[in-house]
Amino acid sequence: MIEKPLEFSKGFFFVREWLVQIQVNVTDVSENPAANTDLTGRNIISIRDLNRAEVELILREAERFEEQLGHGGRLRTLAGSVLATLFFEASTRTRLSFESAMHRLGGAVISTPDGRHTSSAVKGETIADTIRIITGYADVIVQRHPAIGSAREAAHYAQPAGVPVINAGDGAGEHPTQALLDLYTIRKERGALDGLNVTLVGDLKHGRTVHSLLQALCLWDVNITLVSPDSLRMPFETVAELTANGTHIEETSNLEEAAVNADIVYMTRIQKERFTHTEEYETLKDSFIIDAAFMRRHPNVTLLHPLPRVDEITPDVDDFENAAYFRQAQNGLYVRMAALALVLGEHA
């Protein structure tokens, strides 16, 4: 059940039929945006799994959890439930914020933080078998894996046991809970999402956070500018689909120009681990660098980054009030509390 990347070699007719199909699907959702806002038992694999009403529900619940924690609340919302975190790729924020979220909700956590070396995958076990086993031990699974489609595959094998799977990153595919916490942060920092000019910068080809965030933003009325080196552009099919659906998207390689009208600049790391040739990475790694001078030239920009940063934001930017990336990482806790609670049928 691995999702195959779409093939465009089949030519124009295939693309045309596919765009028509997408428009039909999108219309279905927008006609009834409040449909099915119960997330109990649901997987969160792609941001496409959620309509706007469902995304808003998660953001609202996250706000409540933030408020409750702020008041020193000791929550028992998920007492007796167990989360399994299964990570086959490096992570700091995503895994620890999910685990912290579960602990803060009174639940328990079991973990394979370094699945590449310490899980039975080392002995040749398939995702299918690993997942079948974990569903006997946990009520919800959060997985990160280098293969695109691996989270959908995990969800397929967890489904008979009724255990929801949350995708914490499937290679260069998607990272839907990062997009949710990005939306949460943008709304908190700027007061609203509608009407904003949002600029996504960096490795838009391999960056799973921007793949999910772009689709999530298009649930609102936003203008998007995509800034990348030509070889690291956002996949054509994603841009084509969202443009066909009415979102205004511009593509450029000029960050300075794009920043002039931007409300949000969302910086990303050039994804070293996705390159086959190190030389290509070396030529591209310093394509865009945001420093204190940039922040002074663009005082109205709110700067976000999913982190980790390497050299693309210099440390002297951290002191600017509108450099919001550390607050953004903190918001991951509340949003992941909301996601876990909702898929397990609980509320704040």
* Catalytic residue from among 4, 123, 277, 296: 123
List binders of ligand NCD among 284-343 (CB under 6 A): 306-307
Cβ atoms of residues 164 and 344 within 8 Å: yes
HSE at residue 138, side-chain half, CA atoms within 13 A, is 27
Place of tokens 């806790």: 333
Is 93 noted as a catalytic residue in this protein?
yes
Q: Quote the CA–CA distance of 142 and 151 in Å, as a whole number.
A: 9
Interface with ligand NCD, residue 95, by CB under 6 A? no
Interface with ligand NCD, residue 93, by CB under 6 A? yes
Interface with ligand NCD, residue 169, by CB under 6 A? yes
Nearest approach, Cβ of 295 to ligand NCD (angstroms)? 21
Nearest approach, Cβ of 97 to ligand NCD (angstroms)? 9
Cβ atoms of residues 256 and 289 within 8 Å: no
- Which of 209, 225, 238, 247 lies at the binding interface for ligand NCD (CB under 6 A)? 209
Give every CB contact of residue 41 below 8 A, 6+ residues apart in sequence.
162, 164, 343, 345
Q: Quote the CA–CA distance of 20 and 185 in Å, as a whole number.
A: 33
Q: What share of the chain is helix, strand, coil (3-state, %, to 5)?
A: 45, 15, 40
Q: What is the full DSSP assignment across 121-160?
A: GGGT--HHHHHHHHTTT-SEEEEEESSTTHHHHHHHHHGG
- Which of 94, 112, 167, 185 lies at the binding interface for ligand NCD (CB under 6 A)? 94
Reduce the DSSP state of residue 115 to 3 states and report it. Answer: helix
List binders of ligand NCD among 253-282 (CB under 6 A): 268-269
Is 302 noted as a catalytic residue in this protein?
no
Identity of the residue, 51 or 178, whose beta carbon is nearer to ligand NCD in the bound complex = 178
* Catalytic residue from among 95, 104, 144, 269: 144
Amino acid present at 276: T
Is 144 noted as a catalytic residue in this protein?
yes
* Catalytic residue from among 175, 205, 206, 305: 175
Amino acid present at 125: E
| Site map (CB under 6 A) of ligand NCD, residues 40-79, x = contact | ----------------------------------------
Identity of the residue, 85 or 268, whose beta carbon is nearer to ligand NCD in the bound complex = 268
Token pair of 160, please?
């008979």
Is 94 noted as a catalytic residue in this protein?
yes
- Which of 51, 112, 143, 178 lies at the binding interface for ligand NCD (CB under 6 A)? 178
Is 123 noted as a catalytic residue in this protein?
yes
Identity of the residue, 65 or 325, whose beta carbon is nearer to ligand NCD in the bound complex = 325
Give every CB contact of residue 48 below 8 A, 6+ residues apart in sequence.
215
Identity of the residue, 77 or 306, whose beta carbon is nearer to ligand NCD in the bound complex = 306
Task: Write out the residues near ligand NCD by the rule CB under 6 A.
Answer: 93-94, 169, 175, 178, 208-209, 268-269, 306-307
Instruction: Give catalytic residues, as residue numbers.
Output: 93-94, 123, 144, 175
